[in-house]
Amino acid sequence: MASKMLQFVKTEKQMPTKRTADERARDFDEIYKDFSKQSAEEQASRCSQCGVPFCQVNCPLHNNIPDWLMLTAEDILQEAYEVSSATNNFPEICGRICPQDRLCEGNCVIEKGFESVTIGAVEKYITETAFENGWVKPAAPIAERAESIGIIGAGPAGMSAADMLRRQGYQVTIYDRYDRAGGLLIYGIPGFKLEKDIVERRAKLLADGGVTFKLNCNIGTDISFSEIRAQHNAVLIATGVYKARDITLPGAGLDGVVPALSYLTASNRKSLGDDVPEFDSGDMNAKDKNIVVIGGGDTAMDCVRTAIRQEAKSVTCLYRRDKANMPGSQREVQNAEEEGVDFQWLSAPQAFVGDDHVDGVLAQRIHLGRADETGRQVPQVIEDSTFKLEADLVIKALGFDPEDLPAMFDEPKLRVSKWGTVSIDWKTMMTDMPGVFAAGDIVRGASLVVWGVRDGRDAAERIHSYVQAELAGETKAVG
Ligand code: FAD
Ligand code: SF4
Ligand code: SF4
């Protein structure tokens, strides 16, 4: 074992410096600064190089974390980058936005009484150093292949699959209905978690490596799915989930009651310098308004923190369970609290009030009752507990479901689950339609970027096997 490791006894856990809440509320830049070389080496050296590294087991990509921590501690960074990028197409993105407290770091088994190694921040440091030194290169396949693969969706699942397939020499085209590549990385997740040039840098690298992007191209509207299928040896569906779950309460149709993703997309577009009429008109802008966000997941946290940065008069989050039961990352809740968000735990909306435009939310207090069959305590309304919150803009962040893909693609044969997610054979990652694969949120339901990357990589491998088997079959038939 390297002598530099096992420093957790002497060296305390440190996160990269976080900008003060006051400072970060004034812009959309990331809130964490980069590790200095010295901090990254010191923090990496805290790892005890476990025989069975639970950090690695609980990383969806099974990143070889102990090895790249040791290489960082020893300042062998190019090798650290090679190890880290061997299992992850976008380590600098995962290092920034994975909920590490639930994945790698939450499962770090450094000795009791010592806090976990700061894995995500070191992963980001390694890859940013690699970019600075020109070690991150576009795909350069040893030989070109004639076969082509069509990928629908330029989110993390589609982009990681494209990267893997292009490296194998396939002709890869990604179609996306948006005008920029990145999916939710670009239009969902706000810049204070992931600055947009980080995503654009990856899209450019793919294009420089020979991946063709066809943007502003909605499959099912601009080009039919069957046309895409006919053009390629295999097709990957990586379209994500975009149908906002709605709320059926009195007043839900009032102006000023808006879905979270429309609100976040307007804000992200504004930061990217686009013309955004719905932002400029004030409809999707929190400035000087009382904002109420409904929900307790990561999307709700992104909305409340965006509203703070847009200089809202007040920002309240209504969530029907308590803090311990929030589905969102605790780290993000803490960031929101520091930035001045008022959390009304154990509270649920009862009605939205106003004439044409919302001006308030009636809410009720909740008591958590007995656990149901899933083990979660059931929220129960406390009688006569109604209270009113002033609200000029109400943002609904209640989760997402898939759109009706068989209808959208005019492919009734495309089998979906009862939730509308595309059904695949997990061994082959193929749908019921031969040569049509699926990956990411459209298969799992709303999930995480790191799972999108994992699925994209797995799908690329299975597509390669499928295409090669098809080619072998053709050769045999001709012979
Ligand atoms: P997406 O990223 O949704 O990409 C799908 C792409 O398909 C889109 O670009 C879309 O335009 C395109 N598309 C869809 N239909 C068509 C069509 N018919 N024709 C052409 N193109 C089409 N995860 C984390 O790990 N950490 C976080 O901090 C985090 N924060 C989040 C915050 C918000 C607000 C949201 C909404 C999600 C967040 N997530 C986070 C989840 C994460 O963003 C998703 O799990 C991930 O992006 C899914 O990747 P994907 O490639 O499957 O789909
Ligand atoms: Fe942790 Fe995510 Fe990196 Fe895996 S990809 S090591 S879970 S930050
Ligand atoms: Fe190092 Fe923690 Fe992983 Fe063990 S679990 S190898 S201490 S990072």
Per-residue model confidence as pLDDT tens digits over 164-191:
999 999 999 999 999 999 999 999 999 9
Ligand 2 contact, 61 CB (< 6 A): yes
Judge contact between 85 and 91, C-beta under 8 A.
Answer: yes
| pTM > 0.85: yes or no | yes
- Give the model's pLDDT for residue 111: 65
- Percentage of the residues of the chain whose pLDDT score is greater than 90: 85
- Give the model's pLDDT for residue 137: 96
CATH class assigned to 253-399: alpha beta
Ligand 2 contact, 104 CB (< 6 A): yes
- Protein residue with its CA nearest to atom 2 in ligand 3: 108
Q: What's the mean pLDDT in 438-463?
A: 98
Does position 3 have pLDDT exceeding 70, yes or no?
A: no
Ligand nearest to the CA of 55: 3
Judge contact between 291 and 307, C-beta under 8 A.
Answer: yes
Of residues 468 and 378, the one with the higher pLDDT is: 468
- Give the model's pLDDT for residue 468: 96
Please tell us whether the domain made up of 2-132 is placed in CATH 1.10.1060.10. yes
The sheet carrying 290-294 orders its strands as 257-259, 393-396, 290-294, 314-318, 342-344
CA distance 301 to 100: 16
148-241+402-478 shares the fold of 2-132: no
- Give the model's pLDDT for residue 141: 94
Distance 237 CA to ligand 1 centre (A): 13
- Give the model's pLDDT for residue 479: 63
Structure tokens at 266: 């307007």
Task: Name all residues whose Cβ lies below 6 A of ligand 1.
Answer: 97-98, 152-158, 175-178, 183-185, 188-189, 193, 218-220, 238-240, 264, 298-299, 302, 408, 440-441, 447-450, 452
- Give the model's pLDDT for residue 328: 79
Distance 452 CA to ligand 1 centre (A): 9
Q: What's the mean pLDDT in 190-196?
A: 97
- Give the model's pLDDT for residue 376: 81
Judge contact between 106 and 117, C-beta under 8 A.
Answer: no
In the structure, what pLDDT confidence band is assigned to residue 1 with cuts at 50, 70 and 90?
very low
- Protein residue with its CA nearest to atom 16 in ligand 1: 239
Structure tokens at 302: 């992104």
Residue extents of the structural domains in the chain: 2-132, 148-241+402-478, 253-399
CA distance 109 to 55: 8
CA distance 411 to 282: 40
List, for residues 311-365, the tens digit of each pLDDT value: 999 999 999 998 888 887 888 999 999 999 999 999 999 999 999 999 999 999 9
List, for residues 11-36, the tens digit of each pLDDT value: 778 888 899 999 999 999 999 988 99
In the structure, what pLDDT confidence band is assigned to residue 473 with cuts at 50, 70 and 90?
confident
Distance 97 CA to ligand 1 centre (A): 13
Does position 231 have pLDDT exceeding 60, yes or no?
A: yes
Q: Give the H/E segment covering residue 294.
A: strand 290-294
List, for residues 398-408, the tens digit of each pLDDT value: 999 999 999 99
- Protein residue with its CA nearest to atom 1 in ligand 2: 104
Asked whether the CA dihedral 184, 163, 166, 272 is positive or negative, the reply is positive
Does position 5 have pLDDT exceeding 80, yes or no?
A: no
Of residues 113 and 427, the one with the higher pLDDT is: 427
Distance 101 CA to ligand 2 centre (A): 10
Q: What's the mean pLDDT in 73-88?
A: 97
- Percentage of the residues of the chain whose pLDDT score is greater than 70: 98
What is the rounded average pLDDT for all residues in the chain? Answer: 94
Q: Position of tokens 């009706």? A: 404
Architecture of domain 148-241+402-478: 3-Layer(bba) Sandwich (3.50)
Structure tokens at 399: 């989760």
List, for residues 115-127, the tens digit of each pLDDT value: 889 999 999 999 9
